[in-house]
Amino acid sequence: MSTSTRHESVPIEPAPTNDQEIEEILENIPSEIEISVDLPSRNKFYNLSDPSSPVTVRPMTFEDEKVLASNTSRDKGINLLLERCVTNVSITQLLLMDKLYLLLKIREVSFGSSYTVSHICPSCQKENELTFEIADFKVTYIPEDLEDPREIELPTLQKTALIRLPRVADEEFIGSVDLLFDNLWRFVKEIAGNKKRAVISKVIQRLPSKDFHIISNAIFDSKYGIDLKGKYACDSCQTVNIAEIPITENFFSPS
């Protein structure tokens, strides 16, 4: 009669490490370069952790890429990346124009200024390979006298509204057109001097279209921040097109 012996598998633990050996292997890695950045908002509306120091950005590491890849929510992963790579400012309080600017700066310091993408010519459907230079993108800074919140005129109502700019903490309310329309009241501090949330919400639902769009355009003002668009002539038909750099999952990797 034969018997069999059951052998339990024992996890193999890494042997104790020698820090000196590790450092010798990694000795040629460049020192982490942290750069200071001038945000489109000029930091006007932030309480910096250290008011005497600038906002800084560092290059991504392998651990940062793991954090980005492991999050099923793209927005959450990107915000975590910002928290890891950006210092001296609260990420949730960032204006959206500054968030976009910082994402491009992280990409630039991590992988270089050049980013190559494909773009289909609308005229001839030819695929063009385009190389954007992030460092050359135009940045429009907010004027020194811009306030947040700020007062705007509603011409049809002949009254004023006090509106504020959206921040990273507001992203859950503006993820789609329907969400934006339902939550526009959150960005209106008062209308005609009335600050009651319930009143403002009801008034917005009954606004004339002209005044509604004036409020919406003022809240999501695209005049300021970094411009992601560039012109190119199609390789095939020579039509001059405007293309915008896409912020996709491939953006945070070498192009």
Q: How far apart are CA 205 and CA 162, in angstroms?
A: 17
Domain boundaries, the chain: 31-139+230-244, 164-219
Higher per-residue confidence, 205 vs 221: 205
Q: Cα torsion at 152, 155, 160, 163 (round to 10°)?
A: -40
What is the average pLDDT across 109-123?
93
pLDDT for 7 beyond 60: no
CB contact at 8 A, 186 and 151: no
Q: Which of 30-34, 54-58, 83-87, 188-192 has the weakest average pLDDT?
A: 30-34
What is the average pLDDT across 90-119?
95
Q: Which of 27-41, 47-61, 225-239 has the weakest average pLDDT?
A: 27-41
- Residue 149: asked if its preceding bond is cis (omega within 30°), the reply is yes
pLDDT for 4 beyond 70: no
Q: Which two tokens stand for residue 1?
A: 């009669």
Q: How far apart are CA 22 and CA 24, in angstroms?
A: 5
CB contact at 8 A, 56 and 36: yes
Name the DSSP class of 236.
T
CB contact at 8 A, 231 and 142: no
- State pLDDT tens for residues 149-193: 999 999 999 999 999 999 999 999 998 888 988 999 999 999 999
What is the average pLDDT across 26-45?
85
CB contact at 8 A, 92 and 44: no
CB contact at 8 A, 190 and 206: no
- State pLDDT tens for residues 226-241: 999 989 999 999 999 9
Most confident of 109-113, 115-119, 160-164, 181-185: 160-164
What is the average pLDDT across 91-106?
96
pLDDT for 1 beyond 60: no
Report the mean per-residue pLDDT for the chain: 89
CB contact at 8 A, 115 and 252: no
Q: How far apart are CA 103 and CA 37, in angstroms?
A: 12
Q: How far apart are CA 203 and CA 44, in angstroms?
A: 30
3-state secondary structure of 185: helix
Looking at residue 246, its pLDDT comes to: 87
Cβ-proximal residues to 34 (8 Å cutoff; 6+ apart), any chain: 56, 57, 58, 87
pLDDT bracket for residue 25 (50, 70, 90): confident
Q: Which of 33-37, 232-236, 250-254 has the weakest average pLDDT?
A: 250-254
What is the average pLDDT across 99-119?
94
Q: How far is CA 204 from CA 171, 198, 218, in A?
A: 20, 10, 14
Q: How far apart are CA 138 and CA 151, in angstroms?
A: 27
Q: Which of 43-57, 67-81, 97-111 has the weakest average pLDDT?
A: 67-81
Looking at residue 14, its pLDDT comes to: 59
pTM across the whole model: 0.85
